[in-house]
Chains A and B, each alone.
Chain A
Amino acid sequence: MDYITIDSKKVPIEGEKNVLSLIRKAGIDLPTFCYHSELSIYGACRMCVVEDERGKIFASCSEQPRPGMVIYTNTKRIQKYRKLIMELLLASHCRDCTVCHKNGMCELQSLAYKVGVHDVRFPNTREERPIDMSSPSIVLDPNKCILCGDCVRTCDEIQGVGAINFAFRGSKTQVMPAFDKKISETECVGCGQCAAVCPTAAISIRSNVSVVWDAIEDKNIRVVAQVAPAVRIAVGDHFQIPKGENSFAKLVEALRIMGFDQIYDTNFAADLTVMEESAEFAARLEKGEKLPLFTSCCPGWVKYCENKYPEFAENISTCRSPQGMFSAVIKEYYKESDEKEGKKTVVVSIMPCTAKKGEILRKDNFTDGRQDTDYVLTTTEVIRMIKQMGIQFDKISGESADMPFALASGGGAIFGTTGGVTEAVLRRLSPNKDYQTLRDISFTGVRGEEGIKETVVDYQGREVKIAVVNGLANAGKLLDRIKAGEVTYDFVEVMACKRGCIMGGGQPGPAGPRTKQRRMEGIYKVDKSSNIKSSDENPAVVALYQDFLKGKEHRLLHRNLK
């Protein structure tokens, strides 16, 4: 085995592509801003510089390990340079740490502390730049940008969107859309992955916290919350709860303490989506038209498809997303009571997703010209609210959600990760729901974190070709292949974010490989502990269809496409 020596410790080279990975393997957490294992090597922040035995200094992220290399990660010189680089970054950065909403979660702050910068010797000559508030999903504040380029590469390499890039030169360099456009005028889909990787608050989630507090305060408003599948396994991240653990009950209690009037589970609405989408798919299969059917629950994907592949727009399912279906149902459900009590119902959906903030504004998601979901709070915002209230999240014991929309199948639960929608639809379409059949479905290849998964299943004697995609760049690749006639599918599930909603742009960060893994396991654990596996077996769903929904299915559950 080949070795390199890191600070006098021998470390075996086991296929690592760069020295930084070896340093981290050796247990040294070298600071970096621009290194991400899923992105291309960028080498801009220079925080990971190390020195070799000849005194040569280089960035460890972009150096290939060579057997016999001897490197030092913390010599006097390295310390000096690293500190100066950090000081230079701080000198050009906005200095309002205490009032920044990233305060306490900021990578720049924590690395400045780690590196030990206690003084900035350079004057503050920074010019104030305008903040871009044009998007409902994200806010771009160039004053807080350290130009690590993580957002630029994520948007381009992972999402295939490329809405932002660098403009200008020298210290005037800025990350922004081309041609001085606002972010809302670009092909940005609002997925928020840029905000998720941003080490500072240069790109952040557009917050709705204070309007929600206002609604809660208002006695004439009935504030109804719905909680999406992927929120429960991440909301505990900032409260010392093990990664991936289901904190749904705690969250329900916390929301009650905050003053939400009704708290429902979006998993229930996911069951509705499965019902509708399965029916739609079966009908299209029968007629053989508009295939493949693309799923519609991910708003980032829907917008991406409309922007870049408009020719496929009509292949997208007409179903609303679970959020959209649920809000329409809730508004309809409270219509009479509202009139009677002189109240107004406000639906707040709690989502792992920033694109959902855009989805609620789409006219095709309105019912009778009315916006159904009033506000979207991301998991990160809810964590803020819990902290603002001082709720000891780890100490509260948890409560159940409100009936009748609290009961959900495991099929609804797995919407939170890639492959979940497909698996739930397959369960629904399968005539047998026995243990072995469901097990077989889970092994068809729809699970797992690969970018593009393919499988073929049997449905009423015919072969149904399925693709499951996560990450929009992968979706682009797949669509190009479909367009070129290289592949054909009947059903394609797309989630804009890698690994699906568990890694949505509204989820708390930072999340390393282990957290990602735990979150995925967490979602399947919710499914496992559920007595009902298939959406059509959910008695609450069955009851709703038999009674309340009768005749209203299309109006409330589908997009009004004209």
Chain B
Amino acid sequence: MRLENRESLAKKREDAKAAMKQPKHRILVCAGTGCLAGGSAKIYDRFVELAAKEDGVEVAFGDEAHQGIHTGVKRSGCHGFCEMGPLVRIEPSNYLYIKVKEDDCDEIFEESIYNDRPVERLLYESEGVKYETQEKIPFYAKQTRLVLKNCGHIDAENIDEYLAVGGYRALEKVLFDMTPQEVIDEILESNLRGRGGGGFQTGYKWKQVARQKETERYVVCNGDEGDPGAFMDRSVMEGDPHKMLEGMMIAGYAVGAAEGYIYVRAEYPLAINRLKLAIAQANEAGLLGENILGTGFHFQIHINRGAGAFVCGEGSALTASIEGERGMPRTKPPRTVEQGLFGKPTVLNNVETYANVPMIINEGAAWYHTIGTEGSPGTKAFALTGSVKNTGLIEVPMGTNLRDIVYDIGGGVKNDVPFKAVQIGGPSGGCLVTRDLDVKLDFDSLKKLGAMIGSGGLVVMDENTCMVEVARFFMNFTQNESCGKCVPCREGTKRMLEILEDIVAGKGTEESLTMLEELGEAITNTALCGLGKSAALPVLSTLRNFREEYLEHVVEKRCKTGNCQALQNYKILPEVCKGCSKCARNCPVNAISGKIKEPFVIDQAVCIKCGTCLENCPFGAIVKES
């Protein structure tokens, strides 16, 4: 049923609120990609069975299903605590169960639904403390979840739940109470900065699009989250798709656009399905389409799936890809705000940026400035991964320091190995080291450190990580993902990769490091697009922070972390060796020789460091040295 006016929207919201309150208990099964992979679909099915059996009512989705039952089972979006998945949350008690298996469902149902008691063994425990409710768990307690507020708490496949928690209030407000100029002014005032990497002022972009002569304009959402280890945007699209759609609609109203495009990677099938569903539901409700809520505002949103090219996250490559062209960045000017999609003025923001918009409209720019720092207000979502105890999706105010993120929210480095560095901003970013732990993370402070917030990937690395190998990994990624257009990026990254491959293979020299710097500097200064200009940053930043580690690789031919296979030496301890010859018999290249019952020796020049000897030695006489 299409909502024709403001009153019918208000009524629908009230109905939705009532329906959401109706079940006495809600079981929220995380249906984010991580938990789904952990088997949460089966857990969900089991709960549906249990709920249906007890109440004698079939449990399904949609309005009718809420009527007359006492237990609602929901497929929620990502809770963020992916390390501990699959996650199940019980409301209203707010118990959060971790690492739930299908077999646990009956017990959870019995204890938490009927007896209102927690299942102790499934609660999160840290340093001897068991945490009953989600809100008390340090991982959540230290966060400020605004953008991710609804993720994990509402049914991502039901527009009513979004309406019930206040969704589309901002759209309603702009359509009925604000002029497009007022909307732009509010966003400008809030100093919302693009969450996709550059940190460009969102309001300024909107303002520029709004003042173009051409009246056909577009709103584009960049959901092509390609950084290895980043999944913030995916979680928003999967867990709270309407929030992002609402942000796009508000942008459309502000700049006078009638059509929006979401460019999302095809590798995110769940996000695509949820977005499709959300768009269909919004259309059905009359929140998208012609004459929205009777105001005369038209807006439609299309989904374009990207074929997995990293470079399509760059604005002009992204619009080219939507147009059906090869995704290659073009020279600017003209900028996207002047001639973007189909050559028309285009607002291009990423998922998280749009998801910030409704709350700014609802709460006001002044409120927004109370969160975060002066120059970077608001929060930022990060994908916390790597060698950290609590990996997952987090959201903190801008300006939070790295120490709080790694040690308080992340629970510290895994296995309590000393911290070494954090790679921030993926292949376009740089590394932050121990001395940067107390730096406030925001757009400007990171730029000073030669890193960037990027889209928000945070990969924690411990003492056992080889930084040369890390640089090689990112350079390999960048070279494979270079669009191949400009010479510095296409050819320069190829040569940098070759040099890094040489270094980890023990074939580097000190000149290799000079050459890396020469190439890195040239690429940074002369590449065509933003991705090219930042392609060398991981190498330059590790070279700056860990030069001695590079020198160990090229001068001493040594990798102390043991990551670089070619720089390992296998050695037979003569005092332990019994001379059984098993190692020699198993060596694939005949590098080991010796007399029976006397210590054997490895010819280092022949050894290919495969480790077979070490695995085969019955006496533990073979050791790996780095």
CA A279 – CA B331 in complex, angstroms? 52
A489 at the interface (CB under 8 A from B): no
A147 at the interface (CB under 8 A from B): yes
Partner of B525, one of A42, A81, A91, A149: A81
B522 contacts A89, C-beta separation under 8 Å: no
B493 contacts A88, C-beta separation under 8 Å: no
Asked whether A45 and B487 contact (CB < 8 A) given A170-B494, A171-B479, the answer is yes
A437 at the interface (CB under 8 A from B): no
CA A146 – CA B330 in complex, angstroms? 18
B486 at the interface (CB under 8 A from A): yes
A45 neighbours in B (Cβ, 8 Å): 486-487
| Distance in Å: Cβ of A165 to nearest Cβ of chain B | 7
Residues 161-177 of A at the B interface (beta carbon under 8 Å):
165-166, 168-173
B495 neighbours in A (Cβ, 8 Å): 88, 91, 122
A46 at the interface (CB under 8 A from B): yes
Residues 126-161 of A at the B interface (beta carbon under 8 Å):
146-147, 149
B528 contacts A44, C-beta separation under 8 Å: yes
CA A62 – CA B480 in complex, angstroms? 26
Partner of B494, one of A46, A59, A171: A171
B488 contacts A170, C-beta separation under 8 Å: no
B324 at the interface (CB under 8 A from A): no
A84 contacts B518, C-beta separation under 8 Å: yes
B171 at the interface (CB under 8 A from A): no
B526 neighbours in A (Cβ, 8 Å): 46, 49, 57, 59, 81, 85
CA A43 – CA B484 in complex, angstroms? 12
A92 contacts B522, C-beta separation under 8 Å: no
B293 at the interface (CB under 8 A from A): no
**Which one of B333, B482, B493, B495 has the greatest number of beta carbons of chain A within 10 Å?**
B495
Nearest B residue to A147 by beta-carbon distance? Answer: B484
Asked whether A166 and B492 contact (CB < 8 A) given A57-B526, A84-B518, A85-B522, the answer is no
CA A254 – CA B331 in complex, angstroms? 48
| Distance in Å: Cβ of A74 to nearest Cβ of chain B | 15
**Which one of A46, A166, A168 has the greatest number of beta carbons of chain B within 10 Å?**
A46
| Distance in Å: Cβ of A179 to nearest Cβ of chain B | 14
Partner of A44, one of B487, B515, B518: B487
CA A168 – CA B498 in complex, angstroms? 19
A46 contacts B528, C-beta separation under 8 Å: yes
CA A165 – CA B483 in complex, angstroms? 13
Binary CB contact string for chain B from 511 to 541 against chain A (1 if under 8 A, 0 otherwise)? 0000100110010011110000000000000
CA A92 – CA B486 in complex, angstroms? 14
B494 contacts A44, C-beta separation under 8 Å: no
B484 neighbours in A (Cβ, 8 Å): 147, 166, 168-173
CA A46 – CA B492 in complex, angstroms? 12
| Distance in Å: Cβ of A174 to nearest Cβ of chain B | 8
CA A168 – CA B482 in complex, angstroms? 10
A121 at the interface (CB under 8 A from B): yes
B213 at the interface (CB under 8 A from A): no
A84 contacts B528, C-beta separation under 8 Å: no
B24 at the interface (CB under 8 A from A): no
Nearest A residue to B494 by beta-carbon distance? Answer: A171
Tally A-B pairs: CB < 8 A.
101
A342 at the interface (CB under 8 A from B): no
B485 at the interface (CB under 8 A from A): yes
B491 contacts A91, C-beta separation under 8 Å: yes
B481 at the interface (CB under 8 A from A): yes
| Distance in Å: Cβ of A258 to nearest Cβ of chain B | 42
B493 neighbours in A (Cβ, 8 Å): 170-171
B498 contacts A80, C-beta separation under 8 Å: no
A46 contacts B488, C-beta separation under 8 Å: yes
| Distance in Å: Cβ of B283 to nearest Cβ of chain A | 34
A92 neighbours in B (Cβ, 8 Å): 491, 494
A123 at the interface (CB under 8 A from B): yes
CA A147 – CA B488 in complex, angstroms? 12
A170 contacts B498, C-beta separation under 8 Å: no
A542 at the interface (CB under 8 A from B): no
B326 at the interface (CB under 8 A from A): yes
CA A42 – CA B526 in complex, angstroms? 14
| Distance in Å: Cβ of B507 to nearest Cβ of chain A | 11
CA A121 – CA B514 in complex, angstroms? 12
| Distance in Å: Cβ of B492 to nearest Cβ of chain A | 6
Nearest A residue to B518 by beta-carbon distance? Answer: A84
Binary CB contact string for chain A from 54 to 77 against chain B (1 if under 8 A, 0 otherwise)? 000101011010000000000001
A125 at the interface (CB under 8 A from B): yes
CA A61 – CA B493 in complex, angstroms? 23
Partner of B528, one of A59, A81, A168, A169: A59
Binary CB contact string for chain B from 301 to 332 against chain A (1 if under 8 A, 0 otherwise)? 00000000101000000000000001010111
B74 at the interface (CB under 8 A from A): no
Nearest A residue to B332 by beta-carbon distance? Answer: A62
A88 contacts B487, C-beta separation under 8 Å: yes
Binary CB contact string for chain A from 27 to 64 against chain B (1 if under 8 A, 0 otherwise)? 00000000000000111111001000000010101101
A81 contacts B490, C-beta separation under 8 Å: no
| Distance in Å: Cβ of B519 to nearest Cβ of chain A | 7
A84 contacts B480, C-beta separation under 8 Å: no
| Distance in Å: Cβ of B387 to nearest Cβ of chain A | 29
**Could you list 17 examples of A-B contacts with CB < 8 Å?**
A43-B528, A57-B525, A59-B526, A62-B333, A84-B492, A84-B522, A89-B491, A91-B491, A92-B491, A121-B515, A122-B498, A123-B498, A125-B498, A166-B485, A170-B480, A173-B482, A173-B484
Given contacts A92-B494, A147-B490, 9 further A-B contacts (CB under 8 A): A46-B527, A61-B331, A88-B488, A89-B487, A89-B491, A149-B485, A165-B326, A166-B326, A173-B482
